[in-house]
Amino acid sequence: MALPTHAEDFPGWYQEVVKQAGLAEPSLARGTMVIKPYGYGIWERIQRAVDDRIKATGHENLYFPLLIPNKLLEKEAQHVEGFAPEVAVVTHAGGEKLEEPLVVRPTSEAIIWATYAKWIQSYRDLPLLYNQWCNVVRWELRPRVFLRTTEFLWQEGHTAHETADEAIAEALLILREVYVDAVEKVLGIPVIPGRKSASERFPGAEETLTMEAMMRDRKALQAGTSHYLGQNFAKAYGVQFQGRDGEQQYAYATSWGVSTRLVGAVIMTHGDDKGLRLPPEVAPYEIVIVPIYKSDDERLRVMEALSRVKVALAGRRVKVDDREQLRPGYKYNEWELKGVPLRIELGPRDAAANHVVVARRDTGKKETVGVDALAERARRLLEEIQANLFRDAKDFREVNTFTPTDYEDFKATIAAGGGFLQGAWCGDPECEAQIKADTKATIRFLPLQPEQPGEPCIHCGKPGTERATWALAY
């Protein structure tokens, strides 16, 4: 079935690509999804990229339980206010009603900080630099596969520090060295690191850092967040330690996460009207080979050449599509839909000439490559595709980043298709709320280093205190 184009129906395009490429499908419990092998293969490569960087920056993995006593969640006031409406509650287990209901974790600050209270006695126990890979459940009213699901997979890091400065540095380190690095280099998604405004902060955070990406419909997607939590959780859960000065003090916290939402980001950053375009680094298959033949004799010669091609590509993630009942043209369309970076066509004439035809998914360009030169050429082409997809997405973002001259221009720009809108903001949450009410645009990020703009607030005209970037968002 043909995909809708981006221009005619982007949400419909997204839904159809997810379905037709075999990435995921809605499951039976409300808002849940089955992540199918092709989608999970992308997630495994994202996990590897993020996990390698988490470890390289000195963190260790561990695992905390799924089920959290309800009363534990209630200890941090903002946290419970933010999450209580979204939790799933276990009231019965082992055939009996539980005395104390258990919530399925929506995030793990509560159980982790209740446990850190036992682990942290002295400044010598600090820092704790821990992360876990797990599932979380948040009851979503408007679920959308990968982007907003009742259950999703993620990693959540939770660190404890002696000083505020150290915790703030940690939140920044994760944002830059782990998240931005992995997402730009491996997922090929250009992102802008920044701070959230107070109204968009994580419940219980002093500061929420974010990286924001632009999707092909010009909407923003929050691709990951890193929170400086101050002493809020240490105070709520009684995590005190003896400091270097001999005094008891509360530990400083960070938490940070990226999730299966990133699969959605890959789809919506790189896809085109033909389907997915996967950056080689996250593609389950870097290369698909389609052997082409009619007679048994041709088949024999093509298959013999195929074995040489496979040897040349040893070490690469290669799929051979040797399904008998399908025509080459059908296969080309299917693998284009699935976004495999390189397609190799191998027919009887190619076999005789000891070469293959290589087609790039990103540009559609084809070239003939000798089997002897194939390993090196494939390596080079995959690097080029990785770089080209990143550049292409960055160009798209730059073309769709605007500096409205006044609020009328701001509203007109949103109405004309949106994008990133940069301007001055007075810092007043009411002004922010009014802009959202008028246009649905929200502040996606403020610069990491606050800058005093010379201009007045784009909305109210009072003196600007921050440079903000607005967008419609997922």
- Does 255 bind a second copy (CB under 8 A)? Our answer is no
Tokens of residue 17, six digits: 């690509």
Q: Are 253 and 232 in contact, with CB atoms under 8 Å apart?
A: yes
- Does 95 bind a second copy (CB under 8 A)? Our answer is yes
Gap between the Cα atoms of 310 and 320, Å rounded: 9
- Does 130 bind a second copy (CB under 8 A)? Our answer is yes
Strands (DSSP E) found in 118-206: 128-137, 151-161, 192-195
Interacting residue with a second copy among 12, 58, 65, 370 (CB under 8 A): 65
Interacting residue with a second copy among 20, 32, 57, 401 (CB under 8 A): 32
Gap between the Cα atoms of 80 and 57, Å rounded: 31
- Does 332 bind a second copy (CB under 8 A)? Our answer is no
Interacting residue with a second copy among 56, 93, 311, 353 (CB under 8 A): 93
- Does 203 bind a second copy (CB under 8 A)? Our answer is no
Q: Are 35 and 260 in contact, with CB atoms under 8 Å apart?
A: yes
- Does 81 bind a second copy (CB under 8 A)? Our answer is no
Strands (DSSP E) found in 243-306: 248-250, 252-259, 287-291
Gap between the Cα atoms of 326 and 104, Å rounded: 46
**In the block, residue with structure tokens 């010009």:** 218
Gap between the Cα atoms of 384 and 346, Å rounded: 22
- Does 69 bind a second copy (CB under 8 A)? Our answer is yes
Interacting residue with a second copy among 151, 156, 212, 466 (CB under 8 A): 151
Gap between the Cα atoms of 470 and 219, Å rounded: 10
Interacting residue with a second copy among 90, 117, 172, 303 (CB under 8 A): 90
Element (H, E) at 137: strand 128-137
Residues between 152 and 171 with contacts to a second copy, criterion CB under 8 A? 153
φ and ψ of 131, to 5 deg: -145, 150
Q: How far is the CB of 365 from a second copy (least distance, A)?
A: 30
> Binders of a second copy: how many residues, by CB under 8 A?
54
- Does 91 bind a second copy (CB under 8 A)? Our answer is yes
Q: Could you tell me which stretch among 83-91, 243-251, 376-384, 402-410 binds a second copy (CB under 8 A)?
A: 83-91
Q: Which amino acid is at 366?
A: K
Give the strand pairing for 240-242 and 248-250.
antiparallel
Greatest extent of the chain over all pairs of C-alpha atoms, in Å: 85
- For the chain, the first-to-last Cα distance in angstroms comes to 26
Residue 466 β-bridge partners:
425
- Does 56 bind a second copy (CB under 8 A)? Our answer is no
- Does 111 bind a second copy (CB under 8 A)? Our answer is yes
Q: How far is the CB of 45 from a second copy (least distance, A)?
A: 12
Gap between the Cα atoms of 157 and 167, Å rounded: 12
- Does 61 bind a second copy (CB under 8 A)? Our answer is yes
Q: How far is the CB of 24 from a second copy (least distance, A)?
A: 9
| C-beta closer to a second copy: residue 259 or 469 | 259
- Does 141 bind a second copy (CB under 8 A)? Our answer is yes
φ and ψ of 129, to 5 deg: -120, 80
Q: Could you tell me which stretch among 82-90, 164-172, 431-439, 459-467 binds a second copy (CB under 8 A)?
A: 82-90
Q: How far is the CB of 19 from a second copy (least distance, A)?
A: 12
Contact set with a second copy (CB under 8 A): 27-29, 32-37, 39-41, 43-44, 60-69, 72, 84-95, 101-102, 104, 111, 114-115, 124, 130, 134-135, 137, 139, 141, 150-151, 153, 325
